[in-house]
Structure formats: structure tokens, C-alpha cells
Amino acid sequence: MSERADERKARLNPLEHGADVNTQKRSNEMLRAYGDQDLASGGVAYGRVVLEGETIFLQYWLFYPDNPCVLPPGRHDGDWELVQVRAERGGGDFRPTHLTLAEHGKPVNKSISSAAEIEVFVAVDSHACYFREGANPIIPLSDVCEPAGTPSGKPNIVLLPIEASKADWAHWQGRWGLDRGPGTWLALQLHLKRTPGIFKRLNKVGAGESPPSPGHQGQSWSSPGAFATRGSARTATTTPIQRFAHFLGETTWPNDPPRVEVTPVDPAGGSSVPTYRLEAEAAGRFLRRVSMVAIAFWEERADGSRRALALETVQPGESKTLAIPHEGELLWRAAGYNVLRQRGNPILPKPH
């Protein structure tokens, strides 16, 4: 996975206020529960090998405990993503020929000739994988992948079980976290392990539902070859539409960065927990105007490791106080969003 192990690794959390569940607070709880993983490491990828005739498919399933998407249907706990490499036997060895990504469950495919061409970019807001950095259009918005360089660490590959069994979590039928969509709520009231398709349609408002376990994701698991073939066809038909959507998006995205201030303050009640005041000012005009700012915090420890701490949103003109426990140096970065939830360029603190 090509993702720099510096400030670009921080996740942003562009969640709206006023939802039934405080999704922002829950995202921070997720960070506290899982945030001890060093941001400079390659993390874990769950590997699977499938042989179809003279063709071999290498699948890398990626799991994220929290999915803080900009649109309500995309907000959920537990998020599975897939990267797949196709290789053909030749000269007694296997040579990679195609790279397939599951962009929000829909495959896209491209030809490759060597392992050096296997480069994947992860979207900040949705964790979807893409072939290139920058804005990748999805109707009606876009996913933004930060510019990336050479990763500092390779993912640790953990092989998935070959056959399903009661102890095989790759085929688990339960939910990967707490989902709050109305369809999921109804399924829970009926004590259903999974949410039926007709109920999932109700999850277009409020919040979405976490993807099923890899073994229950249909064609991508049962027939990797057909999944890749469908990705080739989809790439040929959707690329012109995506380019046009990108052209339209460039006319409204917030290109003026807002001013963002993170200032240390004395904690209330004599607490020893470091406390900071978060402030932001609006920027831009009309549809380009920034209406929300997302700020991600992480710390850099003395040993060079980095740990995610918190994610917070601030409205322009708002002043918010946030307690952030940390031991190492506190670092942050931000991004502005307009009313269409398009994301502007990242904002870094100015050096003092």
C-alpha cells in the first residue's frame, strides 16, 4: 500500500453534528481502542490465494474498525476493502498481469506487467482503494487520496482460512460493529444476523451498514476471475463518466484554505490532561465556501513511532475546547469542506 508514514497518515473525520449517535465521539473511542498501532507501520493485510487453472489470484483484504464517511450512508463501524492481483504462469513462475480494486464494492481493473506497478492509494474519508492519488470522482461527490510516497513498512500478511468452519471469522455472519441505519435497526429488532437487501435500502439515510465478512461478499470471494473481468468492463464504461464528474467537481470544491488555530489552554478543574482550543474561520464564496473544518490529531513519540489520538470537526466561527491525552509531541492537520461535502487541500500548522 503506498501511503506515507508522516503527517499524511492521519485520518480526518468529516462527520456532521446533530446525528442520533455522536459518531465523532465514537470514532475517537475507536482510536483509543485500536490506536496503539504505529502509524509508520504497514499494518495488517489478510491474504488469500485462489488458483483457477493456470491463473492465480492473490487477494488482500483490509479491515478498518471505523468508517467516518462524509455521507450518512457511508458511516459505519467495521469496513472491509479488497486489493486483488492476478498472475499467470509463465516460464515456471507466475507473472502479475492485472490489478483489481473494489471501489465501494464495485471492481475496477487495470493491466500490469510487474510487481513494481502494484501501487494503491487509500481514500481519506472512505478507505476505498484507487489507482491514483488526488480526487477520484464517485457520483455525486469524490474520494480524495492524499499524495503518497514510498511506505516505510510493508503490511504484515495474515493468511485467511481456506475452508469455512464454525471458528472461521472470515465467514462470520454477524455485524462488524455498531450500525445505526434504520434498516439495520429494524433487522436488529427482528433478531436477524444480517440485514436483508430490502432493509438495506432504508440505510440511505442516517447511517450505513458495515460490509459483510469477506466470505459473504459474493463474487469477489467465490469467483475472483469473474470479479476481475467485470472490473475490466466497468473501467471501460465508467471512466468517461468519472472524468466528467471530476470536471464538474472542480468548479465547486473549496480551493481557499480556511484559517485554523489549535491553542493550548489551562484544563478545567485543575485536570492534568492537556487541553486545546480549536478555532476556524470561513473561506471562499458561494459553493466554494468552507462550512466545516475537520482536524485530525496524532502524537510522535521519542522512539519515532506515531499514534492516532482524536478526530474533531469545527464550524467556522466556532470555538471548541478538547482534552487530548498524549505523551509525545502533538501534531495535527485539517481540511475544509463545503456544503456539498467536497474536501479542500490539507492544512498544516504554520511553523512558529
Statement: residue 304 has pLDDT above 80: no
Task: Name the pLDDT band for 226 (thresholds 50, 70, 90).
Answer: very high
- Secondary structure letter of residue 347 according to DSSP: B
Percent of the chain with pLDDT over 70: 76
Statement: residue 202 has pLDDT above 70: yes
pLDDT at 70: 54
Report the chain's mean pLDDT, rounded to a whole number.
Answer: 78
Q: Which of 138, 134, 136, 137 is nearest to 148 (CA)?
A: 134
Q: What are 256-283's pLDDT values in tens digits?
A: 889 999 999 988 777 788 999 999 998 9
Name the grid cell of 284.
Answer: 471562499
CATH assignment, 1-41+252-352: 2.60.40.10
Beta pairing class for 292-300 and 329-337? antiparallel
What letters, b where the CB count within 10 A reaches 16 and e where it falls short, cover 269-288? Answer: eeeeeebbebbbebbbeeeb
Task: Name the pLDDT band for 4 (thresholds 50, 70, 90).
Answer: very low
Q: How far apart are CA 13 and CA 276, in angstroms?
A: 18
Statement: residue 296 has pLDDT above 80: yes
State the DSSP string of 290-328: --EEEEEEEEE-TTS-EEEEEEEEE-TT-EEEEE---SS
Q: How far apart are CA 161 and CA 171, in angstroms?
A: 9
For the ranges 104-108, 174-178, 232-236, 240-244, the maximum mean pLDDT occurs at 104-108
Among 5-19, 66-80, 330-344, name the one with the lowest average pLDDT: 5-19
Task: Name the pLDDT band for 210 (thresholds 50, 70, 90).
Answer: confident
Q: What are 115-142's pLDDT values in tens digits?
A: 888 888 888 777 888 888 777 766 556 6
Cβ neighbors of 189 (< 8 A, separation 6 or more) are none
Mean pLDDT for 194-217 is 78
Grid cell 491553542 in the structure block, residue: 263
> Do 220 and 107 contact (CB within 8 A), yes or no?
yes
Note the pTM of the prediction, 2 decimals.
Answer: 0.76
List every span in the chain annotated with CATH 2.60.40.10.
1-41+252-352
